[in-house]
């Protein structure tokens, strides 16, 4: 029997959408989250509730799986204490468990790891990270943790710096950051199916004409986005002057005290 793919954060919006799509493609899935899966389980899937802070439970969770898609944790800006528990301690537990069985991790990183670059700047994944809050900082940590895990242990990983993964873009910023659900599926499948990844960083973005992001490892893992937010243009700009200045949008404006927007 094919060993299942583990999907954490399965009960969230993206997790539920992805679980359904991967099941239709024939993947056996082990779904996990701290809260119950709210939908009927996809065919061939099982659900195992786990708190990522429980190191022993995380170790048990990965036993018998093949690869890991990690969407779990906090996905919005929160105080540091909340973020460190789910996105740093929990993530570390998962990587430690994965390395014992040499399981590749496909990690939901974020554009908020580079959110304090100004809009219009063209970025490479080789540019220094500039997190726009504690959430973005936790994603930067995840990428660095995985770098260490690859250099020290040979653990493969793919880091998807997800932009704005929505059914369709709704504001001007999304013309640069939009990741369609179809392209998200393409990115996940490429990350799972490619023969070798090393430590790969890929912009989680569609083929948007106004994209700020390029020079990543997409070609190496075989990710070819097909959608373009430009089909929805023009769209209204949103947010205060800080949010409209920086690539991270509203996350940059949260608790911003410099007063120089």
- Which sequence positions are flagged as catalytic? 135
DSSP secondary structure of the chain: -PPPEEEESTTSHHHHHHHHHHHHTT--EEEEESS---SPPPTTEEEEE--TT-HHHHHHHTTT-S-EEE--S--S---HHHHIIIIIIHHHHHHHHHHHTT--EEEEEEGGGSTTSBTT--EETTSPP--SSHHHHHHHHHHHHHHHHHHHH---EEEEEE-EE-SS--STTHHHHEE-HHHHHHHHHHHHHSS--SEEEEEE----TT--EE-SSHHHHT------GGGG------S-HHHHHBTTTHHHHTT------
Q: What are the two backbone dihedrals, phi and then psi, of residue 86, each rounded to the nearest 5 degrees?
A: -80, -45
CA-to-CA dists, residue 21 to 71, 169, 172, 198, angstroms = 15, 21, 28, 26
Q: Where are the alpha helices (DSSP H) in 194-246?
A: 218-221, 241-245
Short-list 143, 249, 134, CA closest to 201: 143
């Amino acid at each position: 029997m094919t060993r299942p793919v583990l999907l954490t954060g399965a009960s969230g919006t993206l997790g539920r959408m992805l679980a359904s799509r991967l099941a239709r493609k024939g993947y056996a899935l082990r779904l996990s989250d701290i809260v119950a899966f709210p939908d009927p389980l996809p065919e061939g899937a099982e659900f195992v509730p786990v708190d990522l802070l429980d190191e022993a439970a995380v170790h048990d969770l990965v036993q018998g799986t093949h690869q890991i898609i990690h969407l779990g944790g906090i996905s919005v800006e929160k105080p540091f204490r909340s973020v460190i528990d789910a996105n740093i301690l929990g993530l570390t537990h998962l990587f430690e468990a994965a390395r014992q069985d040499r399981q590749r991790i496909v990690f939901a990183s974020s554009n908020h790891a580079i959110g304090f670059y100004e809009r219009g700047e063209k970025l490479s994944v080789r540019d220094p990270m500039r997190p726009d809050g504690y959430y973005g900082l936790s994603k930067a940590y995840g990428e660095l943790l995985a770098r260490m895990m690859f250099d020290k242990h040979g653990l493969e990983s793919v880091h998807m710096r997800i932009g704005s993964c929505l059914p369709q873009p709704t504001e001007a910023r999304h013309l640069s950051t939009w990741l369609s659900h179809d392209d998200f599926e393409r990115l996940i499948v490429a990350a799972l199916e490619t023969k070798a990844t090393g430590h790969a960083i890929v912009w989680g973005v569609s083929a948007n004409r106004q994209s700020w992001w390029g020079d990543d490892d997409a070609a190496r893992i075989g990710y070819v986005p097909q959608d373009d937010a430009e089909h929805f243009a023009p769209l209204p700009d949103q947010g205060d002057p800080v949010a409209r200045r920086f690539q991270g949008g509203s996350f940059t404006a949260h608790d911003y005290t410099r007063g120089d927007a």
